[in-house]
Amino acid sequence: MCGIIGYVGAQQASPILLNGLSKLEYRGYDSAGIAVYDGQALNVKKAKGRLKNLIDITKNGSEPTGTIGIGHTRWSTHGRPSDINSHPQTSGTGNVAVVHNGIIENYMELKEFLISTGVKFISETDTEVVAHLFEYYYDGDLLSTMQKVMERVDGSYALGILCKYHPDTIIAVRKESPLIIGLGNGENFIASDVAGILNYTRDIYYIDDKEIAIVKSGSVEIFDMYSRKIEKEIFHVDWDIEAAEKGGYEHFMFKEIMEQPKAVLNAISPRIKDGRISLDISLSPDELRGFDKLYIVGCGSAYHVGMVAKYIYEDMLRIPTVVQLASEFRYSNPIIDKRTLVIVISQSGETADSLAALREAKRLGATIVSIVNVVGSSIAKESDHVLYTWAGPEIAVATTKAYSTQLACIYMFALFMADSLGKISEEEYIAFIHALLKLPEDLKTVLELKEVTQKLASYYFNAKHIFFIGRNIDYAISLEGSLKLKEISYTASEAYAAGELKHGTISLIEEGSPVVALMTTEKLFDKMLSNIKEVKARGASVIAVTLDNARDISDEVDHVIKIPYIHPMMEASLAIVPLQFFSYYVASMRGCDIDKPRNLAKSVTVE
C-alpha cells in the first residue's frame, strides 16, 4: 500500500525518484508526487492518476533539479484522490516536505491543536498534520524534532521527511509500516520496498519499529527513541533484477502464474533431505504434543490458504483448527493460551491486520509460526518460528505464486507435525513426500490448460455474475477462484459450499448463470454431481473442474477442465491454476488493468 522512495547523493534526484516509483506501482496507488531541494527551496510536483502524469509535468524527470529528494505513490485513506491530496505534503512555509505510508489515527486532535496555533490546512489528508507538526516542533535538530513528533502521533506510519534547513539529509522513521534504507557508494536511499531501489543497490538496512534514520550521501545513522545509536546488519538482496521485470509477458500476473512450478520447487526442494521433511523450525515432539488447538490467521488469499489448511490439519493431525480473518481476530476475544499454536500467513510479512493478530496471540501466550515471503519483514521478526516461501518478488496485486508457495509450506508443516506426533504411517509419509516432489511437474502440466481457459473466458467474460461451488477442500479453492475473478475483472462473484445451495443461495441461479463447480475431492464426487444437477435444473451453465481419472461427466455439464490426479491433500495446488487463468483472461477481455486493479494495493499496511 503506497510507495515511498528517497535519494541523496551526487546525481540528479528526480529521474531516480521517478524510476523508483515506477518499480513501486504494483503496490497500488491513485496519485504520485516528488519533492526535490534545488539549493534554495523544496520544489514539489505531484499529480492525480497514473505515474505518467507526474512524468509529464516533470518533463520526464528533468525538473525539478537537485540531488536530494523524496517521492510517493499514494493510495487514498484520507481525502479523495486529487493533486492537492497527493504526497508529498508540506508545512505552511514550505520548509518541510513529508511522504507517508500508513494512517495517523489522532490526526483530527492534532489538526485542531495546530489550527489553534494559526496553521492553515489545504488538504484533506492526515499526512499534512505531520508536516505542520514537524515544523511546529523544529528546534534545529532533526533527531530531537522527530522524537517530539513521534511522541504526539498515534497510528501506523513510515515517514520520509525533507527539511530546508538540512539540505543534505533525509530523516526517516517507521512504526508498523515497512521501510528500508538502501546503501550506495556516495549515495543512499530510502524506500518502502526493495524493488524501488534494486536498480541502484543490493545492500540494505531493514528499519524496525520506532527507529529513526538520518540519511546523508556519505552516511546512514540509525537511532532509537532515546537517541541511542543502533548498529544494523547489512542485508544483501540476492534475487535478480530480471525477477521483478515482466520478462516478455504482457502482465506480471501472467508471468507469475507461469512461474509457479519454479517457485514451488524453490519452496520444497531444499526442505526434503534423504526423503524426509527438514524444516528450520526448532519445535520438538514434546512441544508439539503440548498444543491442543491450532489457529490459522490471514487476509484475502492467505486466509484461503488457511481454509485449505484446516481441512488438511484436522484430517492428518486430529487437532481442532480454527481459521480466522486477521481483521476480525482481535475483536473476537479469541480463546488462546500457551497450548495454542498460531500460524500467521502473509505474503509481504507487513500486513497490518495479520501483524496485529500476531501480537495479540503472543500477548495471550500462543506460540507463533509464520509463513511469509519477505525475509526480515515485521511478521517474520516477531514470530517464534518462520517458514519462508521463497517465492521471489511478486509484483501483480492478485497473488498467484505466493498463494501456491504458501500452500506448499502448509503441506510441509503438516507432514512435519504428523511425523513428529506419530499421526502418519511410514507408507503414508513416503506417498506424501513423493507427491510433494512431483508437484512442480504437475503444475507444469496444468499450465498447459491456458488455451482451454482462454476459450472458456471468451464465453463468459460479459457475465454479470459468476458462482463457484465446492465441498471440503474444493470449497476453499472456490473461495480463492472467486476472489481472483472479483479483484482483477470486477465481475460480481461468490463462492458457496455446494451443500448450502439449497439453504437459500440457489435462488440466485437463473437461466444462463455461469457456475464453476470444483469436484476434485473424490469421496464427494457424487455429492457434487447432485449439486450440479440442482443448478442445471435451474438453467445454469456449468464449468466442472475434475481429476483426469474421474468418470466422464461431459453429458452432465457444459464444459470440463481436467487436472492431473494428485494426493488428495494437495488438490488445491493444481485446481487453482485454471481458475487463475480464467480470471486473467476474463479481465483481459474486459479491458481491465490486470496488474493494478482499481482500489486495491499489494501490501495492506493499514487496518
The angle formed by the CA atoms of residues 258, 263 and 267, to the nearest 5 degrees, is 160
DSSP 20-68: HHHHTGGG--SEEEEEEE-SSSEEEEEEESSHHHHHHHTTTTT-S--SE
Long-range CB contacts (within 8 A, 24+) of 369-372: 369/281, 369/283, 369/341, 369/342, 369/343, 369/344, 369/413, 370/343, 370/344, 370/345, 370/346, 371/305, 371/343, 371/344, 371/345, 371/346, 371/406, 371/409, 371/410, 371/413, 372/345, 372/346, 372/347, 372/348
DSSP 8-state secondary structure symbol assigned to residue 422: T
Distance from C-alpha of 166 to C-alpha of 543, rounded to nearest angstrom: 63
Q: Which of 2, 163, 409, 592 is catalytic?
A: 2
DSSP 8-state secondary structure symbol assigned to residue 551: P
Sequence-separated (6 or more) residues with CB below 8 Å from residue 335:
293
Query: Please, is 247 exposed, middle or buried when counting C-beta atoms within 10 Å of its C-beta (0-12, 13-18, 19+)?
Result: exposed
Question: CA nearest 272: which of 399, 419, 370?
Answer: 419
Classified as helix, coil or strand, 254 is helix
Answer whether 103's CB lies under 8 Å from 79's CB: no
CA dihedral sign of residues 388, 391, 392, 394: negative
Answer whether 487's CB lies under 8 Å from 600's CB: yes
DSSP β-bridge partners for residue 554: none
Answer whether 66's CB lies under 8 Å from 38's CB: yes
Answer whether 326's CB lies under 8 Å from 298's CB: yes
Sequence-separated (6 or more) residues with CB below 8 Å from residue 599:
none
- Judge whether 2 counts as a catalytic residue: yes
Question: CA nearest 171: which of 76, 91, 100?
Answer: 100
Sequence-separated (6 or more) residues with CB below 8 Å from residue 464:
491, 492
Q: Which of 23, 175, 401, 602 is catalytic?
A: 602
- Tell me the catalytic residues: 2, 602
